[in-house]
Chains A and B, each alone.
Chain A
């Protein structure tokens, strides 16, 4: 499969194989009206297999960067301007994320009291992202 160069936009590389579709789901559909290239399970010297996504005319905000790191800690984001890599970002997992994740414990108070902002402690364990709700202490595993 051929992934074409883009002129302006973002390249999401080193995505854990198979989770690219989840990453596309982070972006509202009206932001994805531009050209998108998405390749899944392609060979990678670093990861073995990886996904890669290129999106024309799109930027990422800091909150989205955190979400990207939570879904795939290995991800790199290249900002492309006029055909050149303007910036390459390797988003760090912050120790605590606020208002980004929803707790998947159905009894957590943050689901009942909507005014509360979710807060999660986040860390990597065996290359997997682990997140613990700071209200109910429920631990969720992802990627």
Chain B
């Protein structure tokens, strides 16, 4: 029996591997319910508090709640909230918790979701805290891997792009390591995984390699997870332009890989995956976004206690 009702989802490190599998089963269960899922959250309110611009994650949370029959309130940038008037995070959360049953939040402060959970009487779901964690993306990605590859243990997963600022990677690799996934990092110089992530992988006894070039290892990969070089994470435009085109996946790249390599991307993408890849069966990134939506439906339902 897994207890999710009233629980905050801050970091996947707080979840056991059994709980992660239970979340995946629940996402599947909701899918199988079909139209019956539309009444699960009737009368419930989700607050989406986004201090940072985000289209995809916020819309995914909101769509998840609407598909469960609930309602949504919230803001999508700091300027439209009381924060612009100097309100503390604790005050915002305590107040919004009075208006809602569950809160999904994104905030540029690293550790902000944990801080918010300390002031909230309703469940907080971390929708990204700076370059730190993004657990709902991670859980959706795990769901994607299970559905597309049928297993996690023994998979060889490559990560390409900005691995320093890409929060999706930081959370995902630590969870995949717990499931026995082999990890291979391909990052331009200066955009490697941060020390704290590397340290936790070493401590967990994970199998991983780090390199700048993709070519040598590409033929052995089962999955390639590509990330955007994020403009907003750079201190100067010049540095951004210098690094953004370092890596790009094309049909030519796929020819050097396994026939069934799965290409994933947390989206939005820029030029790191050419659009010519989209029609190939290897392009899993839009299906990945759909699995993410189902996972958010599972999280909302379980944390509200409408499913158990």
> Measured between alpha carbons, how far is A9 from B244 in the docked complex, in Å?
60
Min CB gap B162→A, angstroms: 16
- Asked if A1 is at the interface (CB within 8 A of a chain B CB), the reply is no
Q: Residue-by-residue, is B137-174 near A (CB-CB < 8 Å gives 1, otherwise 0)? A: 00000000000000000000000000000000000000
Q: Which of A105, A113, A134, A139 contacts B88 (CB 8 A)?
A: A113
Bound CA–CA A113/B111 (angstroms): 11
> Which chain B residue has the least Cβ–Cβ distance from A116?
B115
Structural contact, A133 and B111, CB atoms closer than 8 A: yes
Interface of B is mostly: mixed
Indicate if the CB atoms of A139 and B195 lie closer than 8 Å: yes
Are A139 and B196 also in contact (CB < 8 A) when A109-B107, A113-B90, A115-B88 are?
A: yes
Q: A115-B90, A135-B114, A136-B110 are in contact. Are A109 and B129 (CB under 8 A)?
A: yes
- Give A53 Cβ to nearest chain B Cβ, in Å: 33
Q: How far is A113 from B112 in the complex, measured between Cα atoms in Å?
A: 9
Contacts of A136 in B (CB 8 A): 110-111, 129-130, 132
Label chain A's interface by main secondary structure: loop
Give chain B residues whose Cβ lies under 8 Å from the Cβ of A23. none
Please report the C-alpha to C-alpha distance between residue A133 and residue B109 in the assembled complex, in whole angstroms: 13
CB–CB B89/A113 < 8 A: yes
Instruction: Write the nearest CB–CB distance from B262 to chain A, whole angstroms.
Output: 29
- Complex Cα–Cα for A108 and B108 (A): 9
CA distance A137 to B194 in the complex (A): 11
Q: How far is the CB of A142 from chain B (nearest CB, A)?
A: 15
Smallest beta-carbon distance B202→chain A, Å: 11
Task: Assess the A107–B107 pair: CB atoms within 8 A.
Answer: no
Given contacts A107-B110, A135-B110, A136-B132, 14 further A-B contacts (CB under 8 A): A107-B130, A108-B110, A109-B107, A109-B112, A110-B115, A113-B109, A113-B112, A116-B115, A135-B114, A135-B115, A137-B132, A138-B110, A139-B195, A139-B196
Across the A-B interface, the 4 shortest Cβ-Cβ residue pairs: A135-B111, A109-B109, A136-B110, A136-B111
Interface residues of B, Cβ cutoff 8 Å to A: 88-90, 107-112, 114-115, 129-132, 195-196, 199
